[in-house]
Amino acid sequence: MRPSPSVPSVVITTGTLPVREGDGVPRFVLDLGISIARHAAVTILAPHCEGARRLEEVDGVQIERFRYFLPTALQRLSRGGVLAVNLRASKLAALQIPILLVAQVFALWRLVKKTEAIAVNSHWLIPQGLSGALVCRLLGVRHVLHVHAGDVYLLRRIPLGGLVARFVVKRSDQVLADGSHVRDALDELLGYPSEAVLRPMGVWFDRFNRDRGTPDVSKSIVFVGRFVEKKGIPYLVRAMGDVRRRHPDARLTLIGAGPMEDEVHELVGRLGLHDAVEFTGPLPHSEVVEHLRRSAVACVPSIIDSRGETEGMPTVVLEAMAAGTRVVGTNVDGIPDVLEDRHNGWLCEPADAEDLARAINEALADDSGHQRANAVATSSQHDWSRVGDEYAAYLGIEP
């Protein structure tokens, strides 16, 4: 079905997309699509995976998932809706990269033609950015590339990675990056300045914001994210020992799942923190909102992992800020682009459990409300409605 001539169409391509509500897969690309849908007809193109619908609509955004391997049960690269994690976990997944790339080029070509899209927004350099650059150049369509972190670090490790990055960037009309560290890494990979614009993802401010009234005296600490090395969860668990010595009633809630879950469980037991740490598993977004609202501190202990990788700007930073929750984050990549130490939160050094405990203890002891007020003000500047307006301009959509 063709869009109305008065409503422009855009296509967003991604390798990370929730398969179902509450599966724990990051939803920032979906939220971006919803925010842009006020300006255009939006279709998100993602690889199909077992258990996912081929076609669906979410809050006015069309979602299409393309098959790239048969039977569908063997589509290992996109299993669970997260391409990057599967790439490391399965040899079959790695072998499926060229097959997925070819399938994505044909699927994107067909979708751009069908919807008469005026622009394609690719998230991650490969394979989305590469397929987007190829199709957009051939069809004369605007290409907007958004790099997040893992894509840049992956290309730094593989032969001809810099050549691939230069090919994609030179064929992009606009380049965006989650954080300053990602932009610097991209510049190094390219060998010249990318001129990428810093554009963290956003937050549905009204869903999280509330009047907390009297100061919160609880000692609840919450972490939200995947159980992977770059999230730094073991350092948070170790920090809880020091935190409990100062705040014996402090409790940590870990929301999420991932390949490091067994390791974290074992560490909690070894440190004798069973009564202080709760594992919830993945939760629906609505329940994550309530956990953030009820918690005294949200902790984002991201690190630079053993591969030299970190992440962009975790959306939970802005979500916790909007909820009026004290935020403790590490001084890596996009976090300090948003979080200013002792102004709207607390920063500490990455991979340093002692410094992390110090920051958490300071946050728990603070009852001035100063950081909270500044945090709420910061997050309001990143409301998805504002991000959608900016993105519409990047995509060439006139207001």
What are the pLDDT digits (tens) for 46-76?
A: 999 988 999 999 999 999 999 999 888 888 8
Q: Is residue 291 part of a domain?
A: yes
| 170 and 302 belong to one structural domain | no
Q: Is residue 370 part of a domain?
A: yes
Q: With a cut of 70, say whether residue 103 has pLDDT above it.
A: yes
With 0-12 / 13-18 / 19 or more C-beta atoms within 10 angstroms meaning exposed / middle / buried, residue 248 is exposed
Q: With a cut of 60, say whether residue 106 has pLDDT above it.
A: yes
> What does the pLDDT read at residue 284?
87
- pTM of the predicted protein model: 0.89
Contact between 356 and 330 (Cβ < 8 Å): yes
CA distance 344 to 335: 12
| 222 and 192 belong to one structural domain | no
Domain that holds residue 138: 9-202+384-394
Quick one: pLDDT band at residue 211, thresholds 50, 70, 90?
A: low
| 198 and 210 belong to one structural domain | no
Q: With a cut of 70, say whether residue 341 has pLDDT above it.
A: yes
Q: Is residue 399 part of a domain?
A: no
Task: Give the mean pLDDT of 147-176.
Answer: 93
**What are the start-end ranges of the E strands in the chain?**
9-13, 41-47, 55-58, 61-66, 119-123, 142-147, 174-177, 197-198, 220-224, 251-255, 277-281, 297-300, 326-330, 346-348
| 81 and 215 belong to one structural domain | no
| 235 and 96 belong to one structural domain | no
Contact between 21 and 284 (Cβ < 8 Å): yes
**Torsion angle (degrees, nearest 10) of CA 11, 14, 16, 17:** 10
| 186 and 230 belong to one structural domain | no
| 175 and 237 belong to one structural domain | no
Overall domain count for the chain: 2
> What does the pLDDT read at residue 273?
96
For residue 31 the two structure tokens come to 């939220």
| 347 and 220 belong to one structural domain | yes
| 36 and 154 belong to one structural domain | yes
> What does the pLDDT read at residue 1?
41
CATH code, domain with 376 = 3.40.50.2000
Quick one: pLDDT band at residue 4, thresholds 50, 70, 90?
A: low
| 142 and 235 belong to one structural domain | no
Q: Is residue 4 part of a domain?
A: no
Question: Which distant-in-sequence residues (6+ apart) come within 8 Å of 289 by Cβ?
Answer: 207, 208, 319, 323
Residue entry with tokens 């919160």: 216
Instruction: Read off the pLDDT of residues 367-391 as tens digits, 9 standing for 90 and up.
Output: 888 888 999 999 999 999 999 999 9
Q: With a cut of 70, say whether residue 216 has pLDDT above it.
A: no
The answer to which of 40-44, 88-92, 231-235, 242-246 has the lowest mean pLDDT is: 88-92
* Mean pLDDT score across all residues of the chain: 91
Q: Is residue 327 part of a domain?
A: yes
For residue 49 the two structure tokens come to 């995976």
| 232 and 86 belong to one structural domain | no
| 175 and 296 belong to one structural domain | no
Q: With a cut of 50, say whether residue 214 has pLDDT above it.
A: no
For residue 177 the two structure tokens come to 């990056």
Task: Give the mean pLDDT of 263-278.
Answer: 96
> What does the pLDDT read at residue 2?
45
Q: Is residue 290 part of a domain?
A: yes
Q: Is residue 338 part of a domain?
A: yes
Q: Is residue 334 part of a domain?
A: yes
Bridge-partner residues for 348, per DSSP? 330
